[in-house]
Chains A and B, each alone.
Chain A
């Protein structure tokens, strides 16, 4: 009797789950799989919590929903919460840079070690982090200087399946409200609760990977601490993340990102 009831329940839930996903209209960008290697040779940290594909950006979806804008970022691995953040994900942190007006910032928050090309400046940055909003905002206020006023953090960010999502008021993003026409760039980073120095909750890339550090870069801050970005027809990841370091670890050529538009 018990097992029959269980089977009926299981079938009912499965039917509900299989009912499918209702996709709202909005702008969507796909990114190739297997390019979670930064400029081309970055390697994952060695701790088992960094699952293969978990920093491999595969999709950005931006949807205007009433007075809010919903952001959803997919990665190429099921999300897990090994650090008990309570948000459905733990190791990832996503920066969504938005170009929706004239001018803007060419620099990036400390710890990213990249810049934006002229004409591709960002006006707003949406941060999807497993940390509490107040922690992210506090770090932004302390560490990002003039950028802080343009950094927007959703009240609630959640991960489920392979998707990290957050929603912010359209009014906080400014612009003309036409999200389909805006330019976007996504930077896949890793949530670091104890960031080094002035870094904005970011995980470092070193020459050799460590238990909680990426490898394949430079021990200085001349290399982009970026695992994956949004690829576009005229903006290839390898070109954007190309960099050059001096012998003392200072930057000779910064990684230079571009906005992607539909």
Chain B
């Protein structure tokens, strides 16, 4: 019999490879899923990009696949990743081949230029993308508990410093992270270098030399006499090549395009059972090189500012079941943390503005948002690629004031009452003499930081919520809410023509029930008024929102839907002519997790 040594060697190699390593590698695919989304609405609009409310769609369906992989290679090494089809613009109606699935193609009409590809839209192609890849090391050294390389949402840091953000995915930002103990029991250090996303700098850019730009942060936690202390120091730096230095033989010099430092100190403690005190102080410094960057979405000129939060949470008052939380906050108009939290965090106790009026004036948002607003410590909130059933984010930059939140329970009925008085560090005339710093992003709309030439604004927020589960029909889940937001801004002190008052009043009631084992349903109705007074003109808006929600679960399947019908009258674009408001919108999703 003739032998083939090369084939034997190959077989041996394959056999060894198949035999695997000596230790048992655990590979886990749990959490992998297929997600389908369905939109319908009376606008009959589709966007050129992603199928979501913010992108301008209220029609269409798409499917995404996500494979989650976690491999435990040894006691010391774990790795993981998600492989996800990014097809949020691939409508079912495209039938799987329309427009070459968004990759583009060659124009078959030879009478025109045959080389021009048509409609290359990556969002319409069902291609798979790598997401969330990480390597986690736990080597067991006395000085190092964990090292992480790669992707994270960086939720281990304070939202005012390095925070969670979402631009479709929550873990797009990569970096290197180390954590270990310090000398004192219970104390720890965390050190990280986090790659700077290329849109997080001035002018939504980090310049030409950008692949190594990043944020270095150190965070230190020390328990001291019953107080948990956390201190952090970070620097974000954007370096650029010196254009005149082109000699690669001795390297190229660099200079700073922008630099942002943040220092923070937080303390938490419980001096009494049921009384928690928390305080945080932040100091930011910002430098931008105006010789290369004349416009900035962060700040227009160098500036230092502070932010403070003080919270007292007294849950065990002498009155049984009665608790009160007080919060004082003062966030400087010029407070900047370029990698601070966007959309994914809510840094203030207050519920903030009325979500039902989110985006008012834009026909996409006749019914606003169906979820409460979140306050974020940055000027750019990232409300893109979101649907109407998601929470919106509003910038808390420049906010100062206090919130009192009272909670009680009477006959198994939780009741809460919020009162917030908002003042603004942007209250100035003629930019407070700092036009070069703040005259940058007044375009940011109602949820933006509100930088204007003349401002004298204050806002009062009151919210009452009541909920009760009635023991009938397996439990009737009822809730009611009343909210008032009164905002006034006398703007230019020398004229009344620009004085603006906006008063939002609204209430909603909701009833839900587990209709049968697999299906939960709820119905709610809200009535909302917005009265705007602008100089001599008044604009009244009034709408009702009827909502129907269903959540259907089978083992491994989640299906959810929210349908809303909005009716009312108003003048959303402040033309002086009232119009009828009428919209139907629906979002549904199905998710199978395996």
Contact = CB atoms under 8 A, between A and B. Distances in A.
Interface of A: 2-3, 6, 9-10, 13-14, 16-24, 33, 46-49, 52-53, 65-68, 70, 77-78, 82, 84, 132-135, 137-139, 141-142, 154-156, 158, 160-163, 165, 167, 194-197, 206-211, 215, 219
B519 A48 contact: no
A215 B371 CA distance: 34
Contacts of B159: 48
Interface in B286-316: 313, 315
B457 to A, nearest CB: 15
B419 A132 contact: no
Contacts of B408: 16-21
A96 B533 CA distance: 55
Interface string B315-331: 10001111101000000
A219 B26 CA distance: 12
A66 B471 CA distance: 9
Contacts of A163: 409
B469 A167 contact: yes
A134 B557 CA distance: 10
A13 B464 contact: yes
B320 A20 contact: yes
Given A19-B408, A21-B322, 16 more contacts: A9-B462, A14-B417, A16-B408, A21-B320, A24-B412, A48-B156, A48-B158, A78-B315, A78-B325, A84-B391, A135-B558, A156-B512, A160-B467, A161-B414, A194-B30, A196-B70
Contacts of A158: 414, 467, 469, 477
B283 to A, nearest CB: 20
25 contacts: A6-B462, A6-B484, A13-B464, A17-B417, A20-B319, A20-B322, A21-B320, A23-B321, A46-B156, A48-B157, A52-B228, A82-B346, A132-B553, A134-B519, A134-B520, A137-B517, A141-B555, A155-B475, A160-B407, A167-B471, A208-B145, A209-B146, A210-B146, A211-B152, A215-B145
Given A46-B179, A84-B371, A134 B554 contact: yes
B156 A211 contact: yes
B interface secondary structure, majority: strand
Contacts of A208: 138, 145-146
B419 A10 contact: yes
A112 B319 CA distance: 37
Contact of A17 (B158, B407, B556): B407
A13 B416 CA distance: 9
Contacts of A84: 371, 391
- Interface range on chain B (Cβ under 8 Å from partner): 35 or more
B72 A219 contact: yes
B553 A134 contact: yes
Contacts of B512: 156
A10 B417 contact: yes
B155 interface: yes
B31 A194 contact: yes
Given A84-B371, A156-B469, A20 B462 contact: no
Nearest to A19: B410
A36 B71 CA distance: 29
A196 B30 contact: yes
A17 B486 contact: no
B578 interface: no
Contacts of B417: 10, 13-14, 17
Nearest to A162: B315
A47 B153 CA distance: 9
Given A46-B156, A219-B75, A132 B321 contact: no
A209 B179 CA distance: 10
Contacts of A22: 410-411
Contacts of A160: 407, 409, 414, 416, 467
B217 to A, nearest CB: 14
Nearest to A10: B419
A20 B156 contact: no
Nearest to A16: B415
Given A135-B558, A156-B477, A211-B152, A161 B30 contact: no
B410 A47 contact: no
A78 B416 CA distance: 13
Contacts of B519: 134
A48 B162 CA distance: 12
A195 B30 contact: yes
Contact of A161 (B323, B471, B474): B323
A195 B29 CA distance: 10
B233 interface: no
A194 B228 contact: no
Contact of B268 (A19, A52, A133): A52
Given A22-B411, A78-B315, A219-B72, A33 B273 contact: yes
Nearest to B558: A135
A137 B158 CA distance: 36
B30 A18 contact: no
